A and B are shown apart, each in its own frame.
Chain A
Amino acid sequence: MYCSRRSGSVWSASVSGEKRRSWIQFSALLIQNANFRGFFSGKIYQGKLKQVCVPGINCYSCPGAVGACPIGSLQTFLASRPVKLPYYVLGFLILFGTILGRAVCGFLCPFGFIQELIHRIPLPKKKIGAFPGDKALRKLKYGVLLVLVIFLPLVMDYTPAFCKYLCPAGTLEGGVPLVLLQGGKLNFPIGSLFYTKLAILILLIVLSLFLFRPFCKYLCPLGAIYSLFNRVSLYRMRPEAEKCTHCGACAAVCPMQVDPSVSPNHVECIRCGKCTAACPAGALHLGFSAKNKKEQFPPV
């Protein structure tokens, strides 16, 4: 069943849709970080829930985290010796991907939400949309997945390379709070690696002010995995070709620079719903559907 979000004016539909999505994102962040005591004690949650993988990027070393990060868990298996095939984590990833696709990014991922919040901070200058090289840079996340998440953990013993060398979520959610809360009690030295990762985090925070979700667009290996499911996921976009007037309103509001009138189930679509609300013809609908009809927009 598809749920069309169109009610009332385009503006009210888009505002209420955005509000609803923000509340879902906020609730998902709270639920996945429900160990509130950890933020005071500096101790991470150690209960049984941590054997369950969460759908988005949420570091298991965050004092609040109650679940396991799927990308961290995947690397744990690949970096173990002997290497273990990660059936369990792949099962979670395939199920999340097939049911939701990149709706995980639009609704459930805490790190995606954090970048979006930063992007909402108003700036005197106009925010940046597409720029030369943007399209090529989007491919980088597949390289991050292949090299840092799969290849390096396979060849470097016990080294989750993505976590170690890049992941800004680990720094923000795990590194910074633990260093602040435990300070001198930490029995490991804070060295150049920590400061390098901190610099990557700060760079991404600054970029997020200007660009919508830079980590998601260019670097996230989990977004790369879910992008492969967008065309087959149960949560999907259904266009009504006969209603489309090709006015371009949908493409103009898309923060991921997708044109849903051409590619409604594009790999970069995070299912934010801005286009469905903006379409004056009501030609785009987001929702769950078991049907995977062949749908085509007419030629322009």
Chain B
Amino acid sequence: MKEENGLGKKNSVLTLLLLLAGAGLLFAGLLTGQERDVLLKAVRVCLECIGVG
């Protein structure tokens, strides 16, 4: 049974790229004020979540 468990150097690069992409997207979200959209949604009771909306 031969199976690949780690994916080698390529994956280390992918991990690094993903970390950069994640940080970049978070930063882009902050620049466009998306944290306010999240806040506005989260501070009101969500009727769909609780099953009445």
Give A contacts to B, CB under 8 Å.
44-48, 50-53, 59-61, 65, 67-69, 72-73, 76-77, 80, 84, 86-95, 97-99, 159-160, 163-164, 167, 170-171, 174-175, 178-179, 186, 188-191, 193-194, 196-198, 229, 231-234, 236-239, 262-265, 290-297, 299-300
If A88-B25, A89-B38, A91-B22 touch, whether A296 touches B47 (CB-CB below 8 Å) is no
C-alpha spacing A73/B46, complex, angstroms = 11
CB distance from A81 to the nearest CB of B (A): 13
Residues A294 and B4 in contact, CB atoms below 8 Å apart = yes
If A73-B38, A233-B15 touch, whether A159 touches B48 (CB-CB below 8 Å) is yes
16 A-B residue pairs with Cβ-Cβ distance under 8 Å, sorted by A, are A60-B46, A72-B41, A87-B25, A88-B26, A88-B34, A89-B38, A90-B25, A167-B49, A188-B53, A194-B50, A197-B51, A198-B51, A234-B15, A236-B6, A262-B1, A294-B4
Residues A77 and B34 in contact, CB atoms below 8 Å apart = yes
C-alpha spacing A77/B39, complex, angstroms = 12
- Of the candidates A68, A89, A234, which one forms a contact with B29 in the assembled complex, judged by CB atoms under 8 Å apart? A89
Residues A61 and B37 in contact, CB atoms below 8 Å apart = no
Closest residue on chain B to residue A93 by CB atoms: B22
If A50-B38, A88-B34 touch, whether A95 touches B26 (CB-CB below 8 Å) is yes
If A178-B45, A293-B6 touch, whether A87 touches B29 (CB-CB below 8 Å) is yes
Contacts of B45 in A (CB 8 A): 44, 61, 174, 178
If A73-B38, A174-B46 touch, whether A292 touches B26 (CB-CB below 8 Å) is no
A-contact 0/1 string along B17-28, CB 8 Å cutoff: 011011111111
CB distance from A225 to the nearest CB of B (A): 12
CB distance from A229 to the nearest CB of B (A): 8
Contacts of A52 in B (CB 8 A): 35
Residues A87 and B42 in contact, CB atoms below 8 Å apart = no
C-alpha spacing A91/B12, complex, angstroms = 19
Residues B39 and A51 in contact, CB atoms below 8 Å apart = yes
Residues B6 and A295 in contact, CB atoms below 8 Å apart = yes
Closest residue on chain B to residue A173 by CB atoms: B49
Closest residue on chain B to residue A60 by CB atoms: B42
- Of the candidates A68, A92, A294, which one forms a contact with B8 in the assembled complex, judged by CB atoms under 8 Å apart? A294
Residues A296 and B2 in contact, CB atoms below 8 Å apart = yes
If A95-B22, A295-B6, A296-B3 touch, whether A190 touches B52 (CB-CB below 8 Å) is yes
Contacts of B36 in A (CB 8 A): 51
Residues A179 and B41 in contact, CB atoms below 8 Å apart = no
C-alpha spacing A235/B17, complex, angstroms = 16
Residues A188 and B29 in contact, CB atoms below 8 Å apart = no
Closest residue on chain B to residue A99 by CB atoms: B19
Residues B49 and A231 in contact, CB atoms below 8 Å apart = no
If A77-B37, A95-B23 touch, whether A263 touches B50 (CB-CB below 8 Å) is no
Contacts of B52 in A (CB 8 A): 175, 186, 188-191, 193-194
Residues A68 and B41 in contact, CB atoms below 8 Å apart = yes
- Of the candidates A91, A99, A239, which one forms a contact with B27 in the assembled complex, judged by CB atoms under 8 Å apart? A91
Contacts of A61 in B (CB 8 A): 45-46, 49-50
